[in-house]
A and B are shown apart, each in its own frame.
Chain A
Amino acid sequence: MSIKRLNGVHLKHFKNTESETTVSFPLSAKVILPMGQGMGAPCEPLVNVGDKVFVGQKIGDSDKFMSVPVHSSVSGTVKELRDYALPGGRYCKAVVIESDGKQTVDETIAPPEIKTADDFIKAVRESGAVGLGGAGFPTHVKLRFENHVDTLIINAAECEPYITSDYREMMENPSDVYDGIKLMLEKLNINRAKLCIEKNKPKAIRLFSKMAAKDSALDVVTLPSKYPQGAEKMLLFTATGRVVKENELIAAENAIVVNVSTVAFINRYIKTGMPLISRRLTVDGDAVGMPCNIEVLLGTTIKDILDYSNAKDYRKLIMGGPMMGVCMVDPEAPVIKTHNALLALKSDTLYKSTPCIRCGKCIKACPMNLMPTELEKAYHAKSREQLTALRVNLCMNCGACSYVCPAKRPLAETNCLSKEFLRNTAQK
């Protein structure tokens, strides 16, 4: 293997909330539940205005494979079906439910019956699980691999600054994490699991190393604290030395990668039958008076959380980490399944780009070994040939290049435009 060490950047961690025990966020008067809360096709609403719904009741589903159902997080009455703007600019429906304050659980909620691997995967679909690490890939799709998988990689890198929601999951519910891993190994017939934790979380590493010592199927891998170590391809390489070839999926290298909070959730679902209606969220940023970790019902508006955490004078709201998170346009937007952090920042330094001085820092930072500065030139030259030759499609938009650029050029941002350009000009 020619690659010995992955590129990346060392970021300041800002894990201010790492010792903040998760608190349950109070019930809001209403929740907004978008029908698309992750990758894949948005659902169609199964309820109409005026319908009574209960906690855990399925309110949206789709017949598409790459899709995950949505469940009500409260009991109450459907008030409105409205359009909801997805971050990519498309729209989907959202169900607005007024809570009756009773949180009556849907009576059909019961632990799913599982006999075969197929039952398990179907149950995972019914649970509404998507990758809770932020990307929101439908978990059931990931589990339905075709070739032999020998390694289950559990992603507990949490390499983005600020976010501690996965870490708190591990510290607060270690048995759910452990049992979830065992469950997945057993149901999917995978030999071994590697729980990958960045070395800036020594307590979690110690805790799970103790468990792994008694279990030959589980390894704990200590990852370097180098961003973006939590990206699937980087994680697989560090944990196993395997390189995912371009245009291949992780499964082609006989492994799957699942986020640690997702694993713990699946374990809870199999035990109780309660689908994904809430999630852990780190609330932080310099505008937040009380940085915290909260367990919040999906559909709760960001505004409520900002008020709760004493956020003041914020100018920028980010769902996710500062490297890959998405800016929020509207504080009235709801928390959805993919949100692992809410950052409220007072100011945003808007950098002025200066000419590239060819320092090559972007190339040394790119985990995919791409040449961001060359890609930028190729984009401005509108050269399909160059963009393709330089493999812009391998860019996962981690932002490491933009971060290190001394000329503050929008390199990662340009790669997004390049990918869009290639899509739009593809020969039909």
Chain B
Amino acid sequence: MEKLIVSPSPHQRGSVTTQKIMLFVIIALLPAIVAATVIFGIRALLLVLVCTASSVLFEFLCRKLMKRDNTISDLSAAVTGILLALNLPVNLPFWMAVLGSFVAIVIVKQLFGGIGQNFANPAIVGRIVLMLSFTPYMSSWLKPFWYKTADLTTSPTPLAAEWVVSYSSSSDFVGKITPPVSYMDLFLGKTGGCIGETCALALLIGGLFLVVTKVISPSTPIAFVGTVAVLTFIFKGDVLYQVLSGGLLLGAIFMATDYVTTPITTKGKIVFGIGCGIITFLIRNFGGFPEGVSFAILLMNLLTPYIDKLTKTRPFGFVKNKEVKQNG
């Protein structure tokens, strides 16, 4: 008879694996990818493919070079690639996108030890590096459905667009202010912007899927979006417009919920979300950039270890300030 297996308990494990979680994130991103393709054309899909393929390839080569177990099958590199692509404008040259993948996977993720070890969100840093390096390319936005009309003129994003003030008569001091993009267009994504950020509907469907499947906890997105909404309300801005524009929903649902680079407890996640919301609001309203979601998440990524330290759970039956007796 073969020898019996002896191992410590527990002898059964749950069915959730890292790979399954990443697969669920990819599934949740599909609506956004579809929306991006519909709104910005087949080049948007190609951009997603280029980023994903290059991210996976960089991950593969990196692990090979470092003589470590290959981790491409955990799908985390694919998730990073998709997220990076969704944060890019549709007409960005592919080589720049590949460079973004390189920064994300090689520099931010693998040089710090690979999955679970990076302190900043790879896709976000990839995007920020591209934005600072190739600012003109990264801030030129083709209009939605440009591919139908072959219209290559660019349009500002909803956040950078001028608000139209119309006066009914020349003596009026208070004009009627209309948003440059209608709420419905913002909700459906019919506006300029990064390919994955414009369609709020697709992002919300994905987010709902992740919450229902318990991949993410809703605390971070709610705290993040809620903070932006509350601050906008206090400063008498247009709450709905702020929430639906720019990268807020993409960031709040898919980037600020990254396990590795955000706090681990629910309390911590809420602090993180509020922090992101405040920074986003400040950059959008008082900063030099029209959009601040990426910077907000990156800055909060850096604070995550400190948030973690201050938001530990309280053990059941915990007694404060006591000399803990040791066994033995």
Contact = CB atoms under 8 A, between A and B. Distances in A.
Nearest to B20: A406
Contacts of B325: 247
Given A247-B325, A316-B4, A370-B315, A323 B17 contact: no
B11 A345 contact: yes
B114 interface: yes
Contacts of A373: 264
B116 A357 contact: yes
Interface string B13-25: 1101110110000
Contacts of A330: 4
Given A368-B316, A371-B313, A423 B4 contact: no
B107 interface: no
The size class of the interface chain A forms with chain B is 35 or more
A275 to B, nearest CB: 30
Interface residues of B, number: 42
B317 interface: yes
A399 interface: yes
A358 B260 contact: yes
B327 interface: yes
B18 A354 contact: yes
A115 B4 CA distance: 50
B220 to A, nearest CB: 11
B316 A323 contact: no
A424 B327 CA distance: 9
A52 interface: no
B265 interface: yes
A372 to B, nearest CB: 11
Given A9-B14, A357-B116, A404-B16, A323 B315 contact: no
B13 A348 contact: no
A214 interface: no
Nearest to B264: A360
B328 A423 contact: yes
B228 to A, nearest CB: 24
A370 B71 CA distance: 29
A391 B327 contact: no
A369 B314 contact: yes
Given A354-B18, A373-B264, A363 B313 contact: yes
Report the 5 A-B pairs with minimum CB-CB distance, sorted nearest first.
A399-B10, A355-B116, A423-B328, A327-B6, A426-B328
Given A325-B9, A393-B326, 9 more contacts: A246-B318, A246-B319, A330-B4, A343-B11, A350-B5, A390-B315, A404-B16, A405-B14, A423-B328
